[in-house]
C-alpha cells in the first residue's frame, strides 16, 4: 500500500524546519509563530478527518483533507501533506474504502509530525 502513496523518501524529513527558516529569511520568531498556529489548528482538523473517514462522509473528508493538506504544505510537512492529498482525491472520487485503508498511514504521519515539532526548539 505504501508504495502507491508516492510519499517522499526517508531522506525527506517529516518537518522541514531548515527549509522553513530559509523561506522566512532566518526569522525564527516567524517560524515559531507558524509552528504555534499549526499546533493549535492541526488537532481539530485531524479529528475531523478521522471522523469523516469513520462516518464515510466524502464531502467533509474532501474539504477537510484539502485544508489540512495546505496547512501541512505551508508548515513544511510534505509526507503528511501527501497523505492528505490522497485522502482528498480518494474522497472526491467516492473511494471511501481507500480512505479507510489510509487511516493508519494518516495517523502515523500525523504522530511523526508532532514528534518532530516537539524537537524544534525556540531560539530567541
Q: Please name each of the domains of the chain with its CATH number.
A: 13-118 (1.20.120.160)
* Digit-coded pLDDT (tens) for 63-111: 999 999 999 988 888 899 999 999 999 999 999 999 999 999 999 999 9
Provide Rg for the chain, Cα atoms.
15
Burial of 75 (0-12, 13-18, 19+ CB in 10 A): buried
Cell of 20: 522553513
Give the rounded percent of residues in the chain with a pLDDT score beyond 90.
Answer: 51
Q: pTM here?
A: 0.84
Measured in whole angstroms, how far is the alpha carbon of residue 122 from the centre of its chain?
A: 21
Amino acid at each position: 500500500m505504501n508504495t502507491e502513496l508516492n510519499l517522499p523518501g526517508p531522506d525527506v524529513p517529516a518537518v522541514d524546519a531548515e527549509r522553513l527558516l530559509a523561506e522566512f529569511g532566518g526569522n525564527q520568531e516567524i517560524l515559531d509563530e507558524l509552528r504555534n498556529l499549526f499546533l493549535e489548528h492541526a488537532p481539530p482538523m485531524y479529528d475531523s478527518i478521522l471522523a469523516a473517514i469513520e462516518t464515510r462522509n466524502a464531502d467533509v473528508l474532501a474539504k477537510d483533507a484539502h485544508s489540512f493538506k495546505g496547512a501541512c504544505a505551508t508548515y513544511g510537512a510534505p509526507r503528511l501533506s501527501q497523505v492528505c492529498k490522497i485522502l482528498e482525491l480518494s474522497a472526491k472520487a467516492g473511494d471511501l474504502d481507500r480512505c479507510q485503508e489510509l487511516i493508519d498511514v494518516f495517523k502515523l504521519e500525523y504522530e511523526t509530525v508532532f514528534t518532530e515539532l516537539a524537537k524544534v526548539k525556540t531560539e530567541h
